[in-house]
Amino acid sequence: MFLRFATLATAITFALPAVAQDNDSDVLFELLMLPDIIDIMREEGVSYSDTIGQDLFAGEPTQEWATVVGEIYDVDVMTSVVRADFETSLQDVDLAPLIAFFGSDQGQMIVGLEVSARRALLDDVVEEASKDAVARAQTDADPRYALVSEFIETNNLIETNVAGALNSNLAFYTGLVDGRAFGGALSEEQILTDVWAQEGDIRESTTEWIYSFLYMAYGPLGDADIQAYITFSETEAGGDINRAMFESFDRLFEGISRSLGRAAAMEMTSQEL
């Protein structure tokens, strides 16, 4: 299962002894290859910081900006935050069905393909080629496109990712205000208006990205493997892990966005002096 700025998911409810729960949580964390995903997110984030510089700064970003961005995207800190929230989100959940599914050969194949595709999409050329492949599949009414669509709809990936992106953007604006960007002239009403004005573009880019990612990731899978994943996603376990995955990354995304906003405000101020 997948977040636009994260990945994977799945769970049920039952209470286990605290020690076993902690151990199982760590096992699931590794089975989902979350350390690999977080490392990829760090690369995505550092690249995104270049876009921020182009959009907001009057001149070329300084070395201080690059240093601060590196500190914000500290992979050890990111992993610690996600691991702690992951454990909290699943503290009342029976992890046995999740470990059984994601620890199976089929589950590990799916997770591995998702991680590989996510890393491949760091390359702009690969991303554009993947988007073109999806566009052709949609035009040709490729049955695989329909199957990927069913997976996306079952897991509500578009709406959840759009909501997450809007919350992250709001946090970024909050950071700008905290850092006194634009002379502190941004009001709460202006911020909300600006954030909501981005909803259409965010929805379009998110939809395009998720389709291109999943279409490429699941390319090597048989239809039966994808259908099995859809069926699993429809279970109580599938719904719970989907929720837990988004909850586990919420604090990380919003915290990073707010920190980037504050850092951007400082950079803008220093360039004005």
Q: Has residue 172 been placed in a domain?
A: yes
pLDDT at 205: 95
pLDDT at 52: 84
For 12, list phi and psi in degrees, rounded to 5: -145, 175
pLDDT tens digit string along 105-151? Answer: 999 999 999 999 999 999 999 999 999 999 999 999 999 999 999 99
As a whole number of angstroms, the distance between CA 217 and CA 206 comes to: 16
Q: Has residue 261 been placed in a domain?
A: yes
pLDDT at 273: 57
- Domain coverage including residue 95: 12-272
Backbone Cα Rg of the chain: 20
Percent of the chain residues past pLDDT 90, beyond the cut: 75
Contact between 173 and 195 (Cβ < 8 Å): yes
Q: Has residue 3 been placed in a domain?
A: no
* Residue 206 confidence (pLDDT) above 70: yes
Q: Has residue 38 been placed in a domain?
A: yes
Which residue type, as a one-letter code, is found at position 22?
D
Higher pLDDT, 53 or 175: 175
As a whole number of angstroms, the distance between CA 20 and CA 249 comes to: 23
How many domains does the chain contain in total? 1
Contact between 168 and 5 (Cβ < 8 Å): yes
* Residue 269 confidence (pLDDT) above 60: yes
Q: Has residue 190 been placed in a domain?
A: yes
pLDDT at 272: 65
Look up tokens 């492949």; give the residue.
133
**What integer is the mean pLDDT of 47-70?**
86
Q: Has residue 111 been placed in a domain?
A: yes
Q: Has residue 5 been placed in a domain?
A: no
Q: Has residue 7 been placed in a domain?
A: no
* Residue 62 confidence (pLDDT) above 50: yes
3-state secondary structure the chain: CCCCCCCCCCCEECCCCHHHHHHHHHHHHHHCCHHHHHHHHHHHHHHHHHHHHHHHCCCCCCHHHHHHHHHHCCHHHHHHHHHHHHHHHCCCEECHHHHHHHCCHHHHHHHHHHHHHHHHCCCHHHHHHHHHHHHHHHHCCCHHHHHHHHHHHHCCHHHHHHHHHHHHHHHHHHHHHHCCHHHHCCCHHHHHHHHHHCHHHHHHHHHHHHHHHHHHHCCCCCHHHHHHHHHHHCCHHHHHHHHHHHHHHHHHHHHHHHHHHHHHHHHHHHHHC
